Amino acid sequence: MALMITDECINCDVCEPECPNDAIFMGDEIYEIDPHKCTECVGHFDEPQCVQICPVACIPVNPAHVESRETLWQKFQRLTAAKEAGQAGPAGAASIS
């Protein structure tokens, strides 16, 4: 299940930096969640961090993107592998951290 941000969002800016997958971004009017990046924090935390910190409770499960915990875990693994591959740079190049 990916999460979504409803139009009750007050643009308080607290959710975006809490997302370990960089799935939250500013949309045309309110923050939005990219369902292809949202793992509900599976692989990072026990609870979705955006839900925990949201002061107006406007982040429910997105009914258009219902996923099992196993599917979320697989998505986490794909995202992590892609991120690590992107940071590795060209073959033979040293990684700068």
pLDDT (tens digit, 9 = 90+) per residue, 46-97?
999 999 999 999 999 999 999 999 999 999 999 999 989 987 655 544 444 3
CATH says 16-82 is which class? alpha beta
pLDDT at 92: 43
pLDDT at 90: 53
pLDDT at 30: 97
Mean pLDDT of the region 10-27:
97
Check if the beta carbon of residue 42 is closer than 8 Å to that of residue 50. no
Instruction: Report the predicted TM-score, pTM, of the whole model to 2 decimal places.
Output: 0.84
User: What is the rounded distance in angstroms from the CA atom of residue 63 to the CA atom of residue 76?
Assistant: 20
For 31, phi then psi, to 5°, come to -65, 150
Half-sphere exposure of 96 (CA within 13 A, CB side): 0
User: What is the rounded distance in angstroms from the CA atom of residue 79 to the CA atom of residue 85?
Assistant: 10
Report residue 24 CA to chain centroid gap: 6
